[in-house]
Structure 1
Amino acid sequence: MSADMIQKGRIGSLKSRTGCKTCKIRRVKCGEEKPRCLRCASTGRQCDYATVNLSLSRGQPPRVHRGLSTVSPVHRERRAFEYYFFHAAPSLSDALDLGFWRGTVLQICGHEPAVWDAIAALSTFYEHPPSVGWPGLYRIQHTDRLPPPQSRNHRDALTWYTRSLRKIQQQIQRGIADLTVVLVSCVLFMCIESLQGNIKAALALYHQGAQLMNGASADTRETSLLKATLAPVFVRVGTLVTIFDGVAPLPDRLPSPRTLESRFSSLPDARITLYSLVTDWKIFDCDSVVVHQQKSTTFISPDTLRRLQTRQQALEGGLLAWHRRFCGMDAVVQYNKSSSLMSEDAAAIHAGSPSGIIAILLMTYLSALILTRTALTPAETVYDAHETDFAKILAHAPAALASTAVDNGYQPPFVFDMGIGLPLFITILKCRSPTIRRQALRLLGQAPAIQGMYICHSAAGLLALVVAIEERGPSCSQEDLSVASLLERVGRVPRDGERIFALRAAPWSSAGGETCTALQYSRRECINGKMAVIDEMIVLPASSPWKKLTIL
């Protein structure tokens, strides 16, 4: 593929003076053959020459016509592309990635029908997001139990998605697939699956994409294009996959993060370095889980503990070095000055500026730093000393939310990157201050519903359950477990023996064959003067909203 097809740039006008409607919207030159042009005939698309004006005034969102459900599929397809251009693409990620979503992706779709179909599917799911609630907790393992399409829009989206998948698979089987096209399609497919709550499929797609990227020939023009356009995308997705899966294969030919001894040249430079550190933290966290499985560090062999402590110190040093250099950037200096304002004024200043990106990076940094410093201490009370850092995470949230909000003030249903969801999740789970916990839960409810592979609204219900069990005990009713009920209560700081240190949501099949969510958790309790690990589980939902939930 030529560099001209990949270079970033502003997309020109969607109007053209002549040619069929399909070629106009696909931004390809129409041969103007009548009654059906060769481009449409070769791709099996409908072709007509009626006048359609897709040009809209700058800064104005496209008007949603209620009669669109009755028009032909090709018109709905074109409208989906229009919605992607004006709404989905600008909201999918922050300003640092517009070159990918409104540059690379759109330029490739002009000559690749598979990418065009994937855009139409993604756009439709973006405008009409499927309902992803509590079932999302067990969908990770049971992707074959996804609900059927909820509307005609969803049926259209699935039709386009299936068509795109089939085209890519056929190209691969015939040995004519362009690697860049396949990887761009893979990114779009991951978004489509995440929007449906199908996290397992999104994870599988990442692994396939990383494998393809690792298999690319070295020192070719195609490889250099992959490094410039797709490798940064995959390294960030790889961090999310590592958080979910424990360890993920990162593409071999990624741009190496700059050494922490040098000054960051840009926000993307700082971001990719932080993501690399977060990946290192997760790998360290997986290795240090042996500490949390014990009653105290005295049960760990001295050599194992010493090796873990050395890694902990190195990771903490790397995070602190990142923060020093990050805070020296001009944009971050300006952000810190504006953050001293009242929250509403600061949010207005932050909207449309890189401040939202800075806020998310600082929230992510603080979360990783807290978890690194506490990783080798089994007692959950260790987090009490970090209450100030948890409060700082919340202080950055308004700027982050302002940066992702759309024109009407609402949050989009999905953002591609790791946003504020994970830092807020960690805050609610590990900070036992009832005030901070509830503030974080409110902020989580204001965030985009799905961030990367993280389903925020499902997580909010799960976290409310954890807080309720810690504050009120496992015998609370299902009504007590709701987010709304929790926010109405003042709450209290749970005792050490009431604190949950390990948590897992898993699918559970009832005797009647119904699939629901089981929450498996562990806590430490002093019994007869000895510390014991207590493993418990709650199955949701209860058969009655007033029934006491039973510990299994």
Structure 2
Amino acid sequence: MIAAEPGKKRRQCGPKTRTGCQTCKIRRVKCDESKPSCKRCTSTGRKCDGYVQGSIPSPDDKDFGAVIQRIATHLPGSSQEKRGFQYFVTTTSAELSGFFTNSFWEHLILQASATDPSLRHAVVAIGSIHEEFAHNRLSYDVESESKGQAFAISQYTKAISHLRRSLLNGKQAPITALMSCILFACFDSLRGYFDNAMIHLQSGLKILKDFKAQSAEDAHMVETHITPLFMRLSIQAILYIDTRTTSERKDLVNEMAEICARETEVPEIFESLEDARKHMNQSAHGLFRMFHICDGTKPMQDQPPEAKRMFLQYTRQMTAWNKSFEKFMAAKSHTFNSKQLRGAALLKIHQLVSTVMRDVTPDDRDARPVSESVNDPNNFRRYESDFRIVVNLARSLIVAAEQDKMMGKSPLTFSTDLGLVGPLYYTCIRCTEPTVKMQALELLLQLPRREGMWDSESTVKMIKEYWEIERRHEQLQKATGELATPVPLVEVIDLVFGDGMRWEWKWKHPLGKMPVMLKNGEGSEVISTFSDDWKDLLEDQSWFTEDFTMATGYSPLTDGSIFGTESMFGMDGAGSLGIESPAFGTPASFGVDSTFAFKNEDSVSPGAPELMQWVVPTIVPDTRNDYEWSEL
């Protein structure tokens, strides 16, 4: 046995990492992990071969949990920062992925945040604000925000500071900047700061427009993950976007051009739920862009030719989507696990609501302004069965989420994407059947949900206020007498946004100056205004009380937009996409034996015709952590 030479020290090895560049790994030296090229290579005249995306194993890999745990342990920062990062890893990433496979949240963003301080602080911020939401501590009032919420905001501020320094030094890789914009937009949406969220979203769209991939991996990431995320963020912001002026909306549509350039044709049959989701969002996004460039004060025949072209294009895409989805469900639904079944149900909810939106869009034969024609309550009476299905499917998903929560599982109620809140809000505002509307409201009250710019608690408040406005408006219309032509509710009030999830209904005109159509002695209609008697009537009808107050004053945002108050998701909707049949399909839309089969039941409404009803899933947990679907 050879004795060790006296006085010779053995080399001590530090913990090995998997996040260094390829060149340093081959040389077996410590990499400083600078992006896009490490300084250890460039300072010695070597070419840095960059970083491999697979340096962190995928979530399905057996080593994934251990590697992520090691990263969380060795990350720099305080114990509270490590706690926020850990919460994101164990809980938030799965919530943000929802019912669909999404390696961006569960893999890519974790890998990137291990080396980029801006992304790391943003991840900690989102994880921390999610923990506040999960423990019912998330407040939109600055004066009552919790310590955890204040910590999340401080992490968000640090993330922005790091990004600014990197941009000023020219060291920020474009792909990382795109990720930062997504995280910042998500964080501000989740805390109700919509103006900031839109600034980050638009900044990301501009970067995406000028993006030139530095590697095949970057190109794949942008195509597969980044672009779809920007598209989904744009979709869930639809209600906010349409409260902007026409010029602002058109500017945003132009900025979305890069997303449109990356669209793909709808396949004959979808390969997966993720594939179906991608093309559903693509069609919805295209039609919403069409609505954004329309002028709600003009009839459809006077809308820009580009708007009409886009409407026809994306309507055809939605028809193709429905056929492809039918084939996909008939072929694959029997192999779905509980998560996939829920994902399919959510896609069907979105498709149903989109169908209604599309079908109420006027054609060139309707001479009324678009905002007036799409707000005609008579347009929605024939969709009662569709709204019932939306409510029934949403109920099954919410019941399943409650069961998951009781079993200690993630209930999937915290997301940056459009989920259940928007469709249930639309049902409450649009459906003409009181029973269905009340059921939709009860579901929003049943389990708190945060879905990007949609919050169930704030949405319930907005719906209740709208119903009260609607009721009193009807009374006031009757009080004006037979000489007056009824004034549509959309001509009276508007929906406006404020920071901290503050949504409010606002007068479009100063009190006492609201227009009304009166008939003169010859029977012709003339424009008039309400006198002091109108103000007295308002007071008599208790418009302004302690429990219900409306802001007064002219709103500069009401320029005839199709959304907002005159909207599909606002006060009195518009737009649409979907398939051609008003009933959205045949009794065998998904195959007789498929998950989404139909059965005939008597309508709940007395005297109404027999309606086609879904076989709605009731999800019951079993020992395999799976669920079975049965008829309600």
The answer for the alignment partner of 1:123 in structure 2 is: 127
The match for 1:79 among 80, 83, 93 is 83
The match for 2:150 among 140, 146, 155 is 155
Q: How many residues align?
A: 448
- 2-structure distance, mates of 1:149, 1:375: 43
Shift of 1:86: 1.7
- Distance 1:393-1:531 versus aligned 2 partners, 3 A rule: farther
List per-residue Cα deviations over 1:72-113 (Å, max 9, x = no partner): xx2222222222222211112324244111111111122222
- 1-structure distance, mates of 2:225, 2:56: 9
SS in 1 for 2:100: helix
List per-residue Cα deviations over 1:443-480 (Å, max 9, x = no partner): 2223553212223321221111222232354789xxxx
- 1-structure distance, mates of 2:384, 2:343: 23
The answer for the alignment partner of 1:268 in structure 2 is: 274
Q: Which moved more, 1:428-437 or 1:248-257?
A: 248-257
The answer for the alignment partner of 1:172 in structure 2 is: 167
- Distance 1:84-1:227 versus aligned 2 partners, 3 A rule: same
The answer for the alignment partner of 1:68 in structure 2 is: none
Find out whether 1:26 has 2:72 as its counterpart: yes
> Match for 1:75: what amino acid?
S
- 2-structure distance, mates of 1:532, 1:382: 27
Contact 2:294-2:307 within 8 A present in 1 as well: yes
- 1-structure distance, mates of 2:551, 2:166: 53
Identity fraction in percent = 17
SS in 2 for 1:432: coil
Contact 2:138-2:146 within 8 A present in 1 as well: no
Shift of 1:373: 1.1
List per-residue Cα deviations over 1:270-310 (Å, max 9, x = no partner): 112111211222233345553xx47xxxxx48565999777
Contact 1:77-1:120 within 8 A present in 2 as well: yes
> Match for 1:78: what amino acid?
K
The answer for the alignment partner of 1:468 in structure 2 is: 468
- 1-structure distance, mates of 2:550, 2:241: 30
The answer for the alignment partner of 1:371 in structure 2 is: 357
Q: Which moved more, 1:155-164 or 1:6-15?
A: 6-15
Find out whether 1:114 has 2:118 as its counterpart: yes
- 1-structure distance, mates of 2:137, 2:187: 13
The match for 1:277 among 283, 308, 313 is 283
- 2-structure distance, mates of 1:149, 1:183: 32
> Match for 2:51: what amino acid?
S
Contact 1:401-1:447 within 8 A present in 2 as well: yes
Greater share of helix residues, 1 or 2? 1
- 2-structure distance, mates of 1:429, 1:181: 40
- 2-structure distance, mates of 1:120, 1:332: 41
- Distance 1:80-1:310 versus aligned 2 partners, 3 A rule: closer
1:203-282 aligned at under 5 Å gives the runs 203-217=198-212, 220-221=215-216, 222-246=218-242, 247=249, 248=252, 249-250=255-256, 252=258, 256-260=262-266, 262-282=268-288
- 1-structure distance, mates of 2:317, 2:331: 19
What RMSD over aligned residues (CA atoms) do the two structures have, in Å?
A: 4.2
Contact 1:231-1:251 within 8 A present in 2 as well: no
- Distance 1:467-1:532 versus aligned 2 partners, 3 A rule: farther
List per-residue Cα deviations over 1:104-160 (Å, max 9, x = no partner): 111112222222222221111111138778xx7xxxxxxxxx615722222322222
| Structure whose CA Rg is larger | 2
> Match for 1:368: what amino acid?
S
Find out whether 1:519 has 2:506 as its counterpart: yes
| Structure 1: 5+ residue stretches without partners | 17-21, 29-39, 47-73, 137-145, 295-299, 339-349, 477-495, 509-514
The match for 2:183 among 168, 184, 188 is 188
Contact 2:240-2:497 within 8 A present in 1 as well: no
Contact 1:110-1:116 within 8 A present in 2 as well: yes
- 2-structure distance, mates of 1:550, 1:113: 43
Shift of 1:318: 3.1
SS in 2 for 1:505: strand
- Distance 1:500-1:362 versus aligned 2 partners, 3 A rule: farther
Q: Which has the higher contact order (CA 8 A, sep 6+)?
A: 2
SS in 1 for 2:496: strand
The match for 1:3 among 52, 58, 61 is 52
Contact 1:417-1:451 within 8 A present in 2 as well: yes
Find out whether 1:431 has 2:431 as its counterpart: yes
| Structure 2: 5+ residue stretches without partners | 1-49, 243-248, 367-372, 477-484, 554-632
Contact 1:190-1:206 within 8 A present in 2 as well: yes
- 2-structure distance, mates of 1:524, 1:329: 52
- Distance 1:516-1:176 versus aligned 2 partners, 3 A rule: closer
